[in-house]
Amino acid sequence: AQKACIFDLDGVITDTAHYHFLAWRRLAQSLNIPFDEEDNHRLKGVGRMESLAYILDKGARTVSDDELASLAHQKNKDYQDLITGISPTDLLPGILDAFAWLKSHGWLVGLASASRNAPQVLAGLKITEQFDYVADAGAIPNGKPAPDIFLDVAKAFGLSASQCVGVEDAVAGITAIKSAGMYAAGIGDAAVLTEADIVLPTPEGLPEQVFSIF
Ligand code: B16
Ligand code: MG
């Protein structure tokens, strides 16, 4: 039967998390709200408006809807400036080998990133053409940990969840894959990604340890 691999972007294919961190910290500092790496870790895989809500909540701040929109816009402008220099050298180890294996074995390849900037990041990495389908984060009603974005990709492929492997680095992302009923490969620490079916420290080994046994 046809199979598909559905990738998360940030933390799996490349490390944009650091750029998100710099942009969020700058915004938080402008509001006099402390923001550190630990906060950033909690925002992995969490959408833009939800992340902003977390920061405002941390500072016990409430703002008008207009100000909310302008703060989100400011963060995104800073983030987009930071990612203009992204190039293929920013790919995480093993990712190109994973794409090559999937192509040669006839799998479909999808992207399930919460980032509305995903198309720009893929273009900078020069991997746009590796994907048969890229979910539009802005068109998905419920963000991770809801399964919606992974189910959207499976639907676009006309596949059932049991034919799909999801690859994620975030706890919220692994929960999304498991709620979708898919096999979940975690990238990171097994002690953190406890819901995953298998955890690898980096994408290296995906073909041998995940794809070929699925
Ligand atoms: P944007 P992923 C997520 O990407 C990031 O992990 C998260 O930190 C970010 O807030 C979110 O995308 C939204 O990004 O502001 O660019 O729309 O891990 O789902 O690929
Ligand atoms: Mg991620």
What's the rounded Cα separation, in Å, for the pair 81 and 162? 39
Q: Per-residue confidence at 41, pLDDT binned at 50, 70, 90?
A: confident
Closest ligand 1 atom number to CA of residue 50: 10
What's the rounded Cα separation, in Å, for the pair 150 and 179? 9
- Report CA 99 to chain centroid distance, whole Å: 17
Q: Nearest C-alpha to atom 3 of ligand 1 is from which residue? A: 45
The yes-or-no answer on residue 8 being catalytic is yes
- Calculate mean pLDDT across residues 13-40: 96
Q: Give the distance (Å) from ligand 2 centre to CA of residue 144.
A: 10
Tell me if 20 CB under 6 Å of ligand 1: yes
Tell me if 9 CB under 6 Å of ligand 1: yes
183-187 and 4-7 beta bridge pairing: unpaired
| Segment 114-166, tens digit of pLDDT | 999 999 999 999 999 999 999 999 999 999 999 999 999 999 999 999 999 99
What's the rounded Cα separation, in Å, for the pair 33 and 144? 25
pLDDT at 25: 97
**Cis ω for the linkage preceding 145 (within 30 of 0):** yes
Residue 45 has pLDDT above 90, yes or no: no
The yes-or-no answer on residue 10 being catalytic is yes
Q: Nearest C-alpha to atom 1 of ligand 1 is from which residue? A: 115
Tell me if 176 CB under 6 Å of ligand 1: no
pTM of the model: 0.93
pLDDT at 114: 94
DSSP assignment of 157-168 equals: HT--GGGEEEEE
Residue 60 has pLDDT above 90, yes or no: yes
CA distances from 106 to 120, 203, 211 (A): 26, 19, 12
What's the rounded Cα separation, in Å, for the pair 195 and 167? 12
Q: Give the distance (Å) from ligand 2 centre to CA of residue 90.
A: 15
Tell me if 51 CB under 6 Å of ligand 1: yes
